[in-house]
Structure 1
Amino acid sequence: MREKKFSKKGMRLKKWTRRVQHQASHLFMLLSYKGYLWKEQERTQRINIASLPSEYHSPLDASDHEILAVPITQLIINVSSGKWKRTTILHAYGKCALRAHEKTNCLTEVMIAEAHTTASNADAQHDKGESDSRLQPLAGVPVSLKDTVCVKGFDSCIGYSAWTGKPATHDAALASLLLDAGAIPFVKTAVPITLLSFESSSAVFRRCTNPHSPHHSPGGSSGGEAALIALCGSRVGIGTDVAGSVRIPAHYSGVYTVKASAGRFLKTGCVTSMPGQEGIPAVYSPMARTLEDLESFWKGVFEMKPWNYDHSVLEMPWRMVDLKDVKVRFGVMWDDGVVPPSPPCRRALEEVVTSLRKAGYEVVDFDPPDPYEGLKIAAQLLLADGLRTATSPIRLFEPNDPGMSQALTWLRLPSILQSLYSLYVRYIRRDPIYAGLLECVRTKSVREHYALVAERERYRAKWFEKWRSEDLYFLLCVPNALPAVPNGGMKKGWKACGYTFLFNLLDYTAGVLPVTRVDSSRDALSPVELKRLKSRNAISREAYEMYDAQTMHGLPIGVQVVGKRLEEERVLEGMMIVEKTLRERGVVYELLQP
């Protein structure tokens, strides 16, 4: 009886808390009309018929489908030869982008009208013979951009209402390069406020949803980009990654990406929620519908010599990689020591391992230097300032991401309460994994931060030696323990990020490709299995409270292919090997079609 009484009180407290949060959110909307409702109205106006040529609101026709079906290499050839107009290509992708937005709410800044003018002018110059598209490696390619990329005349508010109505006065280095390469930036895409979430929601733009299910997340922080590409609203786009922010959306939404190492891709002139945070450097990286598109885009960018646009880019031209006559050795990391992979994620990894072995590749189990140690170091570096920088632009009553709200509450507790609760988790709850994270994730002094950077370098050295001793070319693992989480799932799932965050800490190149989908019958967990997975630690328990093979049925599942630092070309080749061997066994991931 007493337990029931406490249970009822707990339920009443939760309902009261939700009611207060809901009312606070409404109060924020009233107090911040300019930064909230005004911004949404601006977006609607940019989409409506009066702002755009009527072609963008007409149904897709046969010529549109023909354009949407070709890889960007053929698209560029057709533009350069004069077979297709840039405006014709933009019509097709603009239509699809607006349809994708209607389904998922994936767009922030709609730049289609301005992109149409750019495309029309380029077409006119080409017709007059005043320009040679053959000299532009990305001629006519519509490119979508994460909201963080500055484009002159448009906001980059990244979900902060305080940053709305402040259009950029200049193009970021990346935007300048794309325009010079003949590409057409045409939309910007949704992110979570603070950029520190595997969801993509903010009060300014509301929630972006998964292209396969409106009840699940598309990933984050590049979730809008993944949703748009998955629905063929863009063939290639740009995201950023500091803990998995292009790889998790690729896994959740079913697209392709390669996370670059620091210094390989342009980033100067873009906005961020944590300027100056270099303990775990954020990196810009492309995302695409196919591996062929991904490689073509990388090559096109590097033909433009990006180091001439951005001082932070290493002068390292694109290198040709041929692994046909090389004995390629794959390692497999089955578990990060914190949250074991769910059935569909493990099944996808097993499919890849089986396919590679049947094709004659050597695949070995890899026992890495403690990934849990890496998670602790990475978490401390990323949250070293106690989230003060990332949350400082948030206005009074402005809702934050649920996961970051939890982290903020912990970081602002008095140290005595942090210590007492950590002791409780370690010795009463008997959960050393969760306790270890709680004990170390505190606001750091400059001296403590220096010590953490030194610890990071020691940890990187361990991995370097282990990788070399195993003579690996690539490492395979899941991108995350779960498929796409339910909307609001970061309240429980934000700590389960070890499979991606680890490679940000190491600064390794890492790609994700879609392999299969959740199957409600094959991937169901028995009560006994579910209990076992939840019993590992509090992080695993909260993650598996969200797992439901029935509601997740049909969601994409990816596999992560990891290489060493600055091995973008090699990782792309490794992903091609994986996809080729899967196809040879009849395992083909079917993309969503327009």
Structure 2
Amino acid sequence: MVLGLGYAIHWRDRRRKQAERETTIASLPEKYRTPLTSSEIDLLLTPSSQLVQHVHDGSVHTSQILSAFTKRALQAHERTNCLTEILVKRAEQKSIPQLERKLARERQKEDDGRRRKKRLPLAGVPVSMKDTVCVDGYDSCIGYSKWIGRTSWRDSPLVKLLDDAGAIPFVKTNVPITLLSFESTNPVFGRTKNPHNPRYSPGGSTGGEAALLAFGGSRCGIGTDVAGSVRIPAHYSGIYTIRCSSGRFLKAGNVTSMPGQEGVLAVYSPMCKTLGDLSFFFKGIYEMCPWKYDHTVLPIPWRRVNSRWELVNTSGQNEEGHAGKERRRARWGVMWDDGVVPPSPACRRALEEVVSALRSRGDEIITIAGPETAQPYECLRIASQLLNSDGGKTFLSQFTSLLEWNDTGVVQLVRYFRLPWIFKRIHAWFVHYIRRDPLRAGLLRDWNEKSVPEQWKLVAERENAREAWFNYWNKEDLDFILTVPHALPAIPEDGSRDTVSACGYTFMWNLLDYAAGVMPITKVDKELDGLPADFRRKNLNGIARSAYKLYDPVGMHGLPVGVQVIGRRLEEEKVLAGMERIEEALGRVWDDGLLD
């Protein structure tokens, strides 16, 4: 009876929230539902830096930008189901009037001959945000029906900074229930689809954001990442992002499915349509001194990268005359395989294309495997245990009913948590010695809720891994590490069931807290990316065998494929420079224009 009542409440609330979203969209002024004009299409294709310049010089009014991007965002939503909260009314009544007042004061100073440094570095830039971001007067239910109606009573520090910088937050975007999936599906808002192919995922957990950006419905967005949640969507959808180190980007005052989880820290990070936008947006955030808004942000001003690939103050001090010189050749460590799931032909081809271009430019390329005591598989084992050390109790406590839908991959994790420990030990032994699959057995063996001493032991293992990688990086004298973001291109609907453990290429950098960027390189080609004739799935370990069930170069034809650029902790500026190096080496800039 109680179970049924809970599900009835869940069903009622989710329908109410869906109706609220559709009513909000339908009630928007008619101007947002008319076809895009040629001038609005031009605005959609204009880089953020130019949008800001147009707003400052008065050649474009911010309301024109909001109109163009709202129209396109609604088109993206119709195509992909990517939106959750529509903030257009707030933009009209708060963000734009506040910006216009500041611009008027700025222009008055100019007329009076008192021109000062611009304090609106993101003036007019449309910004979309993951549903986790709290905005005064709006929900952040992140797919939980239990959280519907828990309206935020204040703007988070991130939103306050965006307003003060002149940006225009205008929509929030969809996520997976629990935030622990590489898909973006939940029972409240439904399934978000990849704009390149609706049968595939745009990624998760920041998938709604990636779908919107890839479709051109926003230029700059904000997501979170605890195991690859901005990088996988960037890879699947064909956009740019950088997973920031903890303390480098604002995160306070927002919601999460696992408050208090600190074994592997979740971080907020920017996502953009182009690399130029990503760099501009990041710098704009830092012009506002984010540590003055959010106590979690370290007071590290934006730095630039000199000719020796060193981070230096923007003032140029201590550069010893190296400013403006061509940078020396970079030293790249390439991790071709994480030892768990080998990259699919499409993803391997993207990585090979980048390596070839960098080598042609004169950069030094070496193959790396990582320190012996902290191999990628070992990092995956530690990270997965730390992230779920509560046995899933925290994210499960947010469900209204046990009958409520859950992500297919997370369902597997929860089911295994609930098995008796003796059964798990026997099953892990069977997988290890009878199935001859020690990698999978190693992940299964200790899949249980941790005691405090067990948690502390894992944290100690994490710190040992960080020390090992610190020493390894120094020993190899690396500037960057290059690898794939995921073994596969975008996965099909409910593919999380088969790929829930295949996240090592991103998850290990969360454990180490390294800065890591993802950028699009190519697209799946059914003629080039077939499996070799001698490929045998049965020869793979269980994790890889399960993932490779989904690889279909014919069905995936045309989906984006990216690479991942890793820098050391708090080296976000350097990672950006590495991504720029790749675009220069390739001699082209990824540009999908506006998807049809």
Shorter-chain TM range is: over 0.9
Change (3 A) 1:378 1:131: farther
Out of 34, 37, 40, the position equivalent to 1:64 is: 40
How far apart, CA to CA, are the structure 1 residues paired with 2:8 and 2:459? 44
Correspondence list, 1:579-594, <5 A: 579-583=583-587, 588=590, 590-593=592-595
1:387 corresponds, among 379, 384, 392, to: 392
Change (3 A) 1:564 1:534: farther
Is the contact between residue 259 and residue 511 of structure 1 (CA under 8 Å) also seen in structure 2? yes
CA deviation string 1:238-273 (max 9, x = no partner): 000000000000000000001100000000000001
Q: 8 Å contact 2:52–2:124 — kept in the other structure?
A: yes
Select which of 365, 368, 375 maps to 2:367.
Answer: 365
The letter of the residue matching 2:562 is G
Report the equivalent of 1:13. Answer: none
Instruction: Measure the CA separation in 2 of the matches of 1:520 and 1:150.
Output: 42
Runs of 4+ in 1 over 3 A off after TM superposition: 25-31, 126-134, 586-594
Corresponding residue number in structure 1 for 2:463: 457
Which stretch of structure 1 is more off in the superposition, 390-399 or 533-542? 533-542
Equivalent in the alignment of 1:496: 502
* Aligned residue type for 2:353: E
Q: 1:547 aligns with which of 546, 551, 559?
A: 551
After superposition, the C-alpha distances for 1:504-527 in whole angstroms (9 at most, x for unaligned) are: 000000000000000011111246
Given that residues 95 and 166 in structure 2 are in contact (C-alpha distance below 8 angstroms), is that contact kept between their aligned partners in structure 1? Answer: no
Pair 1:470–1:123, CA change in 2 (3 A) = closer
d(CA) in 2 for partners of 1:392, 1:141: 38
Given candidates 197, 203, 207, the residue that maps to 2:187 is 203
Q: Which deviates the most, 350-359 or 362-371?
A: 362-371
Shift of 1:561: 0.3
Structure 1, 167-176 or 128-137: larger mean CA deviation: 128-137
Letter in 2 for 1:74: Q
Map 1:372-521; keep pairs closer than 5 Å: 372-396=377-401, 397-521=403-527
**8 A Cα contact 2:95 2:167, kept in partner:** no
**Alignment check: 8 A CA contact 1:515 1:589 kept:** no
Select which of 1, 4, 17 maps to 1:39: 17
**1: CA distance, partners of 2:450 / 2:119:** 50
Kindly state the Cα deviation for residue 127 of structure 1 after the two structures are TM-superposed.
7.5
Q: Which amino acid aligns with 1:53?
A: P
Contact map agreement 1:368 1:466 (CA 8 A) in 2? yes
Is residue 250 from structure 1 mapped to residue 250 from structure 2 by the alignment? no
* Corresponding residue of 1:537: 541
- Percent identity over the alignment is 54
> What letter matches 2:531 in structure 1?
L
Give the Cα–Cα distance (whole angstroms) in 2 for the partners of residues 590 and 96 of structure 1.
Answer: 15
- 1:320: how far off? 1.4
- Shift of the 131–409 alpha-carbon distance from structure 1 to 2, 3 Å rule, reads farther
Out of 333, 336, 339, the position equivalent to 2:338 is 336
* 1:516/1:558 contact within 8 Å kept: yes
SS in 2 for 1:35: helix
Equivalent in the alignment of 1:78: 54
Alignment of 1:297-312 (within 5 A): 297-312=281-296
Alignment-mate amino acid for residue 220 of structure 1: G
Equivalent-residue separation in structure 1 for 2:105 and 2:464 (angstroms): 58
Compute the TM-score of the two structures, normalised by the length of structure 2.
0.92
1:156 equivalent to 2:161? Answer no
CA RMSD of aligned residues (A): 1.8
Q: Please identify, of 113-122 and 25-34, the stretch whose mean Cα deviation from structure 2 is larger.
A: 25-34
Counterpart residue number, 1:17: none
Give the superposition deviation at 1:98.
0.3
Q: Secondary structure at the match of 1:135?
A: coil
- The alpha-carbon distance between structure 1 residues 26 and 102, as it changes in their structure 2 partners (threshold 3 A), is farther
Relative to structure 1, the CA distance from residue 226 to residue 118 in structure 2 (aligned partners, 3 Å threshold; closer, same or farther) is same
**Code of the aligned partner of 1:443:** E
Map 1:209-288 onto structure 2 (within 5 A): 209-288=193-272
- 1:574 matched to 2:575? The reply is no
Q: For the residues of structure 2 that align with 1:460 and 1:418, how far apart are their CA atoms?
A: 29
Aligned length: 564
63-72 or 341-350, which deviates more: 63-72
**Residue type matched to 2:465 in 1?**
Y
Aligned residues of 1:105 and 1:208 also touching (Cα < 8 A): yes
State the secondary structure of the residue aligned to 2:13.
coil
1:139 and 1:182 in contact (8 A); partners too: yes
What's the CA shift for 1:590?
3.6
Pair 1:123–1:244, CA change in 2 (3 A): closer
Amino acid at match of 1:118: K
2:177 and 2:186 in contact (8 A); partners too: yes
Aligned equivalents of 1:455, 1:356: Cα separation in 2: 35
User: Quick one: distance in 2 between partners of 1:501 and 1:232?
Assistant: 28
Distance in 1, Cα, partners of 2:573 & 2:538 = 39
Please give the per-residue CA displacement for 1:277-310, whole angstroms capped at 9, x wherever unaligned: 1110000000001111001111100111000000
Within 2, Cα distance between the matches of 1:426 and 1:73? 55
Distance in 2 (CA, whole Å) between partners of 1:158 and 1:511 is 25
Q: Deviations over 1:192-218 (max 9, x none)?
A: 000000000000000001010110000
Which consecutive unaligned segments of at least 5 residues does structure 1 have? 1-24
Are 1:516 and 1:589, in contact at CA under 8 Å, matched by a contact in 2? no
**Is this contact kept in 1: 2:439–2:541, CA < 8 A?**
yes
Distance in 2 (alpha carbons) for counterparts of 1:123 and 1:372: 49
Q: How far does residue 58 in structure 1 lie from its aligned partner after superposition?
A: 0.7
Q: Quick check: 2:96–2:168 contact (8 Å CA) kept in 1?
A: no
Amino acid in the other structure paired with 1:67: L
What amino acid does structure 2 have at the position aligned with 1:239?
A: G
Cα shift at 1:428: 1.3
Distance in 2 (alpha carbons) for counterparts of 1:336 and 1:439: 20
Deviation at 1:589, TM superposition (A): 5.5
Q: Partners in 2 of 1:122 and 1:304 — Cα distance?
A: 16
Closer, same or farther in 2 for the Cα pair 1:131/1:441, shift >3 Å?
A: farther
> Among 100, 124, 139, which residue is 2:76 paired with?
100
Distance 1:180 1:527, change over 3 A: same
CA drift at 1:117: 2.3
Residues 258 and 511 of structure 1 are in contact (CA less than 8 Å); yes or no, is this contact kept in structure 2? Answer: yes
Instruction: Give 1:34 shift.
Output: 3.7
Contact 1:200 1:220 in 2 (8 A): yes
| AA aligned opposite 1:349 | L
Shift of 1:173: 0.8
Secondary structure of 1:32's counterpart equals: helix
Q: Give the deviation of 1:592 after TM superposition.
A: 4.2
Secondary structure class of the residue paired with 2:76? helix
Is the contact between residue 18 and residue 189 of structure 2 (CA under 8 Å) also seen in structure 1?
A: yes
CA shift for structure 1 position 322: 3.0
Matches of 1:534 and 1:235, distance apart in 2 = 43
In structure 2, relative to structure 1, the CA distance for the partners of 1:563 and 1:256 (3 Å cut) is same
For structure 2, list consecutive stretches of 5 or more residues without a partner in the other structure: 109-116, 308-325
**Does the 8 Å contact 2:192/2:202 carry over to 1?**
yes
- Measured after TM superposition, the shift of residue 31 of structure 1 is 3.9
Contact 1:515 1:587 in 2 (8 A): no
Deviation at 1:579, TM superposition (A): 1.1
Looking at structure 2, the residues matched to 126 and 279 of structure 1 have their Cα atoms a distance apart, in angstroms, of: 42
